[in-house]
Amino acid sequence: MSEPTLAAPVLVRVQAVQRRTLLVLSASQVIGGVGQAIGIAVGSLLAAEIAGTAAVAGLASTSSVLGAALLAVPVSRVMSSSGRRAGLVVGYAAAVLGAALVVVAAYADSLTLMLVGMFLFGGGTTAGFQARFGATDLAEPHRRGQALSLVVWATTIGAVLGPNLSQPSGSLAQALGLARLGGPFLISAVLFALAALFVAVLLRPDPLLLSRELTPDVQEPSGSRRSSIRQSLSAIVSTSDGRLGLLAVVVSHSVMVAVMVLSPIHLGHGGATLTVIGVVISVHIAGMFALSPVVGWLADRLGRRRTVLIGASVLAVAVVVAGTAPADRSAQVGVGLFLLGLGWSFGLIAGSTLVTESVPAGIRPQAQGASDLTMGLCAALAGALAGPILDLGGYGGLNLVAGVIVVPLFFVALRGVLSPGHGTA
């Protein structure tokens, strides 16, 4: 896509707004990330406690993943018509309502109400994912990957801090006469509300609306002309970059979710303690987020396609390392999950940048929402199928299937890198 050339004074102003945008989005990611992580850490435990059986524990995370996927569409539509700020507020507001419903469900012992709450709770994830696109609105083309990755990196802080607040928040809930496992969601509701307020007050000027002011020839479709999900996906897959970007985010996220969610079960079969399992998952989260600025820099320097190819290669190595690990080899599983998170980071950052750059500026918010919808739905399906696959083929079989899914991404990325004129894109 052609990029506008800005006069020097305008460029200086845009760069200043971009720095403020990255700071505000990153800070909101920290606040919302803590709220998201603290709830996810105990969601499965609460579902099992309410139902009286561990068989339904996975429904909590499934509901949240589905909510994050489906809420991406209305949130992106709000962004398209009213800007990033309004869309992020809607996402966080849904998460506030969802967290509050889970608190009530914990008190009333209602699994149905809890699952509805977890669905809306996924709005926090939606806001977090959509915030990464906001980082690209005013970024210079050769810095889009790095800008996007900085906002992704900020999630690290929330992912680390959140679970550590589970115990004190449970004590707070009991002191207030509420269910102990409802406490983390009470804190989540407060944090999501703060994130919404933070964005509403400080994300000014809105990066998406300002980018449109700077390119008045690019107008967002309105009314009946507004892009549907099908039209948005069609726009993405109409170019080789778009197809690769969408495939990268879908495969990376689906493989990561399928393997990660059942790794604790595999470790548990080997006698690993909750502490060991927690350390392994923390290592995985570090792989996902800690090196994202480096990944973004590589996406800008080496090119998006090469970065996707690296990610696919890392994912392939990850499933081999993890899949060949006996249940009592927690260190080997940890190495595999670190690589799994790192491969996800390469795929998500480079793929998201490709999706953004593959469509006209006027329909980017809708296309980004459609991309996240597809990514989330595929990941939810992968997570649902992972259990039966684990029962049939064990942890090694699950990783084998994950590896098979990675193969098409590897060859599509390789073809893109080797194609004439496509080496640096």
Spatial CA neighbour of 274 closest among 45, 26, 4: 45
For position 166, what pLDDT does the model report? 65
d(CA 184, CA 377): 26
| pTM score of the predicted model | 0.81
Residues whose CB falls within 8 Å of the CB of residue 366, separated by 6 or more in sequence, listed in order: 76, 77, 80, 226, 227, 229, 231, 232
d(CA 198, CA 407): 42
CB 295 within 8 A of CB 344: no
CB 73 within 8 A of CB 370: yes
What domains does the chain contain, in order, with CATH numbers? 7-212 (1.20.1250.20), 228-418 (1.20.1250.20)
CB 63 within 8 A of CB 42: no
| pLDDT one-digit tens code per residue, 43-97 | 777 887 888 876 666 678 788 889 999 999 999 999 989 999 999 999 999 999 9
pLDDT (average), residues 292-314: 95
**Of 396 and 361, more confident:** 396
Handedness of CA 383, 384, 388, 391 (dihedral sign): positive
**96 to 29, 151, 193, 228, 291: CA distances (angstroms):** 15, 21, 6, 27, 30
Crossing angle of helices 166-175/144-164, nearest 10°? 50
| pLDDT one-digit tens code per residue, 194-243 | 999 999 999 999 999 999 888 765 555 554 445 678 889 999 999 999 99
